[in-house]
């Protein structure tokens, strides 16, 4: 195992982590900006107005993309585990 190989596995792990977390984070960001604009326009400054819709939309997004997330994680883990003999050499 070389240092380049370990860095490559770490880079792939970080890439997959970012790819899996991106849909939920982006939807949360968009909903947060829309609600903030609504609050600025209407001057309604209620704290729960931000959190409840954001949580609901993030959970809906998570349920929608969960099969894709699991597929990516399972294939990454399968590749890691099946290639252990080649990593040791």
What pTM was computed for the model?
A: 0.78
List pLDDT tens digits, range 48-86. 788 899 999 999 999 999 999 999 999 999 999 998 888
Average pLDDT over the chain reads: 92
Residue 38 has pLDDT above 80, yes or no: yes
The pLDDT value given to residue 81: 93
Instruction: Give the start-to-end residue ranges of the domains of the chain.
Output: 3-88
Q: Which two tokens stand for residue 9?
A: 């596995």
């Amino acid at each position: 195992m070389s240092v380049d190989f370990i860095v490559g596995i770490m880079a792939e792990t970080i890439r997959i982590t970012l790819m899996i977390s991106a849909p939920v984070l982006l939807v949360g960001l968009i909903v947060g900006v829309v609600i903030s604009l609504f609050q600025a326009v209407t001057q309604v400054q209620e704290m729960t107005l931000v959190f409840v819709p954001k949580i609901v939309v993030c959970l809906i997004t998570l349920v929608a993309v969960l099969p894709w997330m699991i597929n990516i994680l399972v294939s990454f883990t399968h590749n890691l585990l099946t290639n252990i003999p080649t990593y040791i050499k």
